[in-house]
Amino acid sequence: MSSPNAPEKGREKDAAPGSNFIRQIVEEDLRQGKNQGKVHTRFPPEPNGYMHIGHAKSVCLNFGLAEDYKGVYNLRFDDTNPTRESVEFVESMQQDIRWLGFDWEDRLYFASDYFEQLYEMAVELIKRGLAYVDSLSAAEMREYRGTLTEPGRNSPDRDRSVEENLDLFARMRAGEFPDGAYVLRAKIDMASPNINMRDPVMYRIMHVHHHRVGDTWKIYPSYDWTHGQSDAIEKITHSLCTVEFEDHRPLYNWFVEQIGFEHKPRQIEFAPLGLNYTVLSKRRLRELVETGRVSGWDDPRMPTISGMRRRGYTPAAIRNFCERIGVAKANSTVDMGMLEHAVREDLNKVAQRRMAVLDPLKVVITNYPEGQVEELEAVNNPEDENAGSRTVPFSRELYIERNDFMEDAPKKYFRLAPGREVRFKFAYYITCNEVVKDADGNVVELRCTYDPATRGGWSEDGRRVKGTIHWVSAQHAERGTVLLYDRLFTEPIPGRGGRDFKEDLNPESVVVNDAALLEPSLTQAAPGELFQFERIGYFCADKDTNAAKPLFNRTVTLRDTWAKTGGKH
């Protein structure tokens, strides 16, 4: 391990293991006795899609921080924009967060619960001359806003009287005006170097049905207006958000200050997770779903939590990954290989081993008695002695993986070849004597002999073989379907250079193999059950698997095959 003082790659400088700049801020606040020594965080998703791995980072950070400092955390839906929000998303997000292992107990909130309170606060600001109703169109507002180098100009409505503002705002709420006719703006400073402070919009007229409040509201509060107030109402101590909100912090503080909250939450920004070979944005993920490029939000190729769950990723793997990537201020992209590594690491510990042959080649053991079947003991997981063992049937006709045989094998080839002996895992030493071909010259069968003195796969005379291969018994194996998933995109940064990100979709992101031959017990796999198919990879029983039609998703290969082809580590 590196010394605690050595800067870790990709992390904020001098971060000791497990520490980060946010924890340092929290610890300093605790030392100074701020917030009566409490830590209270929240995760504030907008229910406009399914959660992705970037949101998992935010959940682990927000909730993990509260757990570590014996604080509490809220789940709050930021449901202020009803056009793309729905109950389906609210429910899936809760399911995903629970699955990740977090429990917000009774602290489930919705920004829409505060709509009345927010409205009253806005009226207060109007009365104090700190907000006004503006009739500029969206295009005019953009023009009046100015640029990074030029100050904005005051709207002609900026000096509307308090009475008139109150009247118009009440009528906006009552639904008297069409969408876009007016907005309510905070009156701050049109010349501020920070564009967010140039009289930001607090309310828009939207005649839209809301999944919780129905048709009660005809105006909806903006993110900026809602977020800080919600944090202050809930007495959040540390409000963590991604760096694009850094420039919004002065506005966040301005609102909380003007409303006069005694409790002032502290906004702290961190870099969002970027992951290569995928896209992390609900908008883009929605596009993939809506254009049918994937089967749904829980397609096992999606970087959503529901997709990863179906693919066979475990909560522990995702949490370990989130811990390992750390927290910093500077944007960076994490290699997909790191996530896959965390998945392999956990599955290696928890997944039971089974044998399955994906591309079968027949083997006949000519000196094995016809009709005889032996049940051989097979270890379920060499990494976990509590996992025990099972038996697998062995008989005269077997199948092995086609690529475990080579007719003209080089010296260093340790699998099956004419005249060579290998170990059939858990079974016997087996020698290949004869290769049977069809009329086209394709190898269709191998005729072999076994050494009865090597039962279990070990020779008593100390004779060694270099190769071990897996197999299934022809008469006992069950046919099944395996979906061989790969990365969703072929490019590390899909859509780079302005092309449509969908052009970079990997045409081979799923390969369907319905001729796999499975060890019999695999027909009994429960949906979601995880396995290592010996020498092939990790697989997860799909939600649609059943005894008549076993169906498995490849979670991840045994080794990182992308490292050679482009993924860097």
Q: Point out which residues bind Mg ion (CB under 5 A).
A: 46
Q: Among Mg ion, ligand ATP, none, what does residue 58 contact (CB within 5–8 Å per kind)?
A: ligand ATP
Cα–Cα distance list, 12 to 20, 24, 66, 129 (Å)? 7, 12, 21, 43
Q: Show the binding pattern over residues 274-293: x = contacts ligand ATP (CB under 6 A), - = does not.
A: ------xxx-----------
Find the binding residues for ligand ATP in span 480-539 (CB under 6 A). Answer: none
Quick one: three-class SS letters along 340-397? Answer: HHHHHHHHHHHCEEECEECCEEEEEECCCCCCCCEEEEEECCCCCHHHCEEEEEECCE
- The smaller minimum CB distance to Mg ion, of residues 46 and 384, is found at 46
Q: Phi, psi at residue 435, to the nearest 5°?
A: -110, 125
Minimum gap (Å) between residue 464 Cβ and ligand ATP: 51
Cα–Cα distance list, 564 to 10, 403, 489, 537 (Å)? 22, 20, 17, 18
- Is there binding between residue 266 and ligand ATP (CB under 6 A)? no
- The smaller minimum CB distance to ligand ATP, of residues 93 and 347, is found at 93
Q: Among ligand ATP, Mg ion, none, what does residue 185 contact (CB within 5–8 Å per kind)?
A: none
Q: Burial letters for 156-183: b for 16+ Cβ neighbours within 10 Å, e otherwise?
A: ebeebeeeebeebbeebbeeebeeeebb
- The smaller minimum CB distance to Mg ion, of residues 46 and 445, is found at 46
- Is there binding between residue 242 and ligand ATP (CB under 6 A)? yes
C-alpha span between 288 and 504 (Å, rounded)? 12
Find the binding residues for ligand ATP in span 28-47 (CB under 6 A). Answer: 44-46
- Is there binding between residue 308 and ligand ATP (CB under 6 A)? no
Are 555 and 538 in contact, with CB atoms under 8 Å apart? yes
Applying CB under 6 A, the span of 54-62, 179-187, 212-220, 378-386 interacting with ligand ATP comes to: 54-62
Going by the DSSP 8-state scheme, the letter that residue 155 receives in this structure is: -
- The smaller minimum CB distance to Mg ion, of residues 223 and 414, is found at 223
In 3D space, the residue among 284, 241, 305 whose CA is nearest the CA of residue 95 turns out to be 305
Cα–Cα distance list, 232 to 78, 226, 386 (Å)? 14, 10, 50
Minimum gap (Å) between residue 239 Cβ and ligand ATP: 9
- The smaller minimum CB distance to ligand ATP, of residues 46 and 124, is found at 46
Minimum gap (Å) between residue 238 Cβ and ligand ATP: 12
- Of 54, 71, 492, 567, which one interacts with ligand ATP (CB under 6 A)? 54
- The smaller minimum CB distance to ligand ATP, of residues 80 and 431, is found at 80
How does strand 443-450 pair with strand 429-437?
A: antiparallel
C-alpha span between 531 and 348 (Å, rounded)? 9
Q: Among ligand ATP, Mg ion, none, what does residue 281 contact (CB within 5–8 Å per kind)?
A: ligand ATP
Chain centre to alpha carbon of residue 145: 38
Sorted by sequence, the CB contacts under 8 Å of residue 353 that are 6+ apart come out as 378, 379, 380, 381, 382, 531, 532, 533, 534
- The smaller minimum CB distance to ligand ATP, of residues 94 and 281, is found at 281
Sign of the four-CA dihedral 230, 231, 235, 236: positive
Q: Among ligand ATP, Mg ion, none, what does residue 338 contact (CB within 5–8 Å per kind)?
A: none
Cα–Cα distance list, 336 to 312, 325, 331, 333 (Å)? 16, 11, 16, 9
Name residue 293's beta-bridge partners.
Answer: none
- Is there binding between residue 55 and ligand ATP (CB under 6 A)? yes
Q: Show the binding pattern over residues 56-85: x = contacts ligand ATP (CB under 6 A), - = does not.
A: -xx---------------------------
Amino acid at position 172, single letter: M
- Is there binding between residue 210 and ligand ATP (CB under 6 A)? no
In the bound state, the residue with its beta carbon closest to ligand ATP is 54
Size, binding site for ligand ATP by CB under 6 A:
14
Minimum gap (Å) between residue 46 Cβ and ligand ATP: 4
Are 206 and 220 in contact, with CB atoms under 8 Å apart? yes
- The smaller minimum CB distance to ligand ATP, of residues 44 and 550, is found at 44
Residues that bind ligand ATP (CB under 6 A): 44-46, 54-55, 57-58, 241-242, 272-273, 280-282
